[in-house]
A = this chain, B = another copy of it.
Amino acid sequence: MKDNKIQIAILGLGTVGTGVYKVLKKQQPEMLPKLGVEVEVSRVLVRNLERAASRVDDPSILTNKWEDIISDDTIDIIVEVMGGMEPARTYILDALHAGKNVVTANKDLIAADGHALMDAAKDANKDFLFEAAVAGGIPIIQPLKQALQGNYIEEIVGIVNGTTNFILTKMTEEGMEFKEALQLATDLGYAEADPTSDVEGLDAGRKMAILASIGFHSRVTFKDVYTEGITKITARDIRYAKEVGCRIKLLGRARNTEEGIEVGVYPMLIDSRHPLASVNDSFNAVFVKGDAVGDTMFYGRGAGELPTASAVVGDIFDVIKNMHFGCTGRIGCTCYKQIPMKNRENIVSKYFMRIKVEDRPGVLAAVTSVFGNNGVSIEQFIQKRKNDDLAEIVVITEEVKEKNFDDSVKILKTMSMIKQISAIIRVY
């Protein structure tokens, strides 16, 4: 700090970095009364100095050398918004070792390696905050670590990927097929050129790993998370879901059960009266169930320049308050337990299944007996009108062990009367 100013450096001037720069500028008149100090962006690390020049008032703050920042003792807070694993990881560790506080939005890094970073922050007694890493602007990490800390969190269910939620909303409201909705998302800038990480549930999986770690006080990394994407969902599935009073959403689901922690990302049917069911377009929401608080939900923009910057700047201001009170490191790692991950064979789900079968006597009995023999109870059974010589059957199971369901499917696949297994989707 110098002259009542806190000097910060921003690493990266992409969407989020630019947003942080803008929000800090807008907040300038508020800083003295709000924080007792002003915040000055004294350095911004960029790859291309020329291209970045137009995005800041004073291009002399730009640098492409990390050394300019790490060796500058007047800089107290590093805001890492480059994303990706390296060099972000090295920079953050260097910064913490050098006694700087760090604010980041880097979910990939935290979901894979958060513990090492939090350990470094603890050793240095510095803040390492990452509210923006999950669900963009929605306050969720801080509420889990603070306001809800008197709860045993039983379950966290989230719509934590805006791109897929936009796609599913278009499929639901306008009857589009996946490819068409993806194209629209790409055209509108919601989906990246390579949409794999979004549509296969990887991005959501990383966020769920972070949420589960915080909620259950036990480290969950991305490799512990089962992920399934939405590429196979069809407009027909969505119509059937509506018929049974449901919507299809890509849900991240983390449960702390007696047999361990389970975290997965799957497209799921969810009752249309559930608060998550009406979270549409690119909005995100995280539903948290605690033993004391009951059901809560946190809703908002999960991405975008300014919403993400809102979370980053909230963290920066928190660090500044902690610096003022001499209590940086106040909210550190909260994983003080070591709960095993639940064996996937013991995971229990409800399923929606759509199959095409020969339209002749005995078929239904055969199908239901396969389920029965494998311990799969059926909650709903709908036979739809014929199409060619085939009948379409929709089966919704009770909660069953996934293994038992998979075993049933394996057998069904071998049966000549079953012509097609058109869809298998979990039910929340």
Q: Contacts A292-B313, A294-B300 hold; do A139 and B139 have CB atoms under 8 A apart?
A: yes
Q: Is the CB of B306 within 8 A of A292?
A: yes
Please, how many angstroms separate the alpha-carbon atoms of A30 and B256 in the complex? Answer: 15
Q: Is the CB of A34 within 8 A of B152?
A: no
> For A306, what are the chain B residues with a Cβ–Cβ distance below 8 Å?
291-294
Please, how many angstroms separate the alpha-carbon atoms of A292 and B314 in the complex? Answer: 11
> For A149, what are the chain B residues with a Cβ–Cβ distance below 8 Å?
34, 313-314, 317-318
Closest to A297 in B: B299
Most chain-B CB neighbours within 10 Å: which of A142, A148, A311? A148
Q: Contacts A293-B300, A299-B275 hold; do A317 and B150 have CB atoms under 8 A apart?
A: yes
Judge whether A381 is part of the interface by a CB distance below 8 angstroms: no
Judge whether A151 is part of the interface by a CB distance below 8 angstroms: yes
Q: Is the CB of B307 within 8 A of A300?
A: no
Please, how many angstroms separate the alpha-carbon atoms of A159 and B252 in the complex? Answer: 27
Q: Is the CB of A314 within 8 A of B146?
A: yes
Q: Contacts A33-B336, A298-B298 hold; do A322 and B318 have CB atoms under 8 A apart?
A: no
Q: Is the CB of A325 within 8 A of B334?
A: no
> For A298, what are the chain B residues with a Cβ–Cβ distance below 8 Å?
296-299
Q: How far is the CB of A176 from chain B (nearest CB, A)?
A: 19
Q: How far is the CB of A330 from chain B (nearest CB, A)?
A: 5
Judge whether A295 is part of the interface by a CB distance below 8 angstroms: yes
Judge whether A346 is part of the interface by a CB distance below 8 angstroms: no
> For A151, what are the chain B residues with a Cβ–Cβ distance below 8 Å?
310
Judge whether A383 is part of the interface by a CB distance below 8 angstroms: no
Closest to A317 in B: B149
Judge whether A17 is part of the interface by a CB distance below 8 angstroms: no
Which among B24, B293, B331, B334 is the interface contact of A137 at CB below 8 angstroms? B293
Judge whether A23 is part of the interface by a CB distance below 8 angstroms: yes
> For A27, what are the chain B residues with a Cβ–Cβ distance below 8 Å?
150
Judge whether A337 is part of the interface by a CB distance below 8 angstroms: yes
Judge whether A143 is part of the interface by a CB distance below 8 angstroms: yes
> For A317, what are the chain B residues with a Cβ–Cβ distance below 8 Å?
146, 149-150
Please, how many angstroms separate the alpha-carbon atoms of A428 and B30 in the complex? Answer: 30
Which among B23, B295, B299 is the interface contact of A150 at CB below 8 angstroms? B23
Q: How far is the CB of A248 from chain B (nearest CB, A)?
A: 18
> For A193, what are the chain B residues with a Cβ–Cβ distance below 8 Å?
none
> For A19, what are the chain B residues with a Cβ–Cβ distance below 8 Å?
292
Which among B147, B294, B312 is the interface contact of A314 at CB below 8 angstroms? B147
Closest to A315 in B: B147
> For A322, what are the chain B residues with a Cβ–Cβ distance below 8 Å?
327, 330
Please, how many angstroms separate the alpha-carbon atoms of A138 and B292 in the complex? Answer: 11
Which among B139, B150, B314 is the interface contact of A309 at CB below 8 angstroms? B150
Please, how many angstroms separate the alpha-carbon atoms of A151 and B310 in the complex? Answer: 7
> For A51, what are the chain B residues with a Cβ–Cβ distance below 8 Å?
none
Which among B131, B148, B334 is the interface contact of A147 at CB below 8 angstroms? B131
Bitwise interface map of A from 73 to 109 toward B, beta carbon under 8 Å scored 1, else 0:
0000000000000000000000000000000000000
Q: How far is the CB of A272 from chain B (nearest CB, A)?
A: 10
Judge whether A290 is part of the interface by a CB distance below 8 angstroms: yes
List 17 contacting pairs A-B, 8 Å CB cutoff, sorted by A: A23-B150, A24-B150, A26-B152, A30-B217, A33-B217, A139-B143, A139-B146, A143-B147, A147-B310, A293-B307, A294-B306, A321-B330, A325-B327, A325-B329, A325-B330, A326-B327, A327-B327
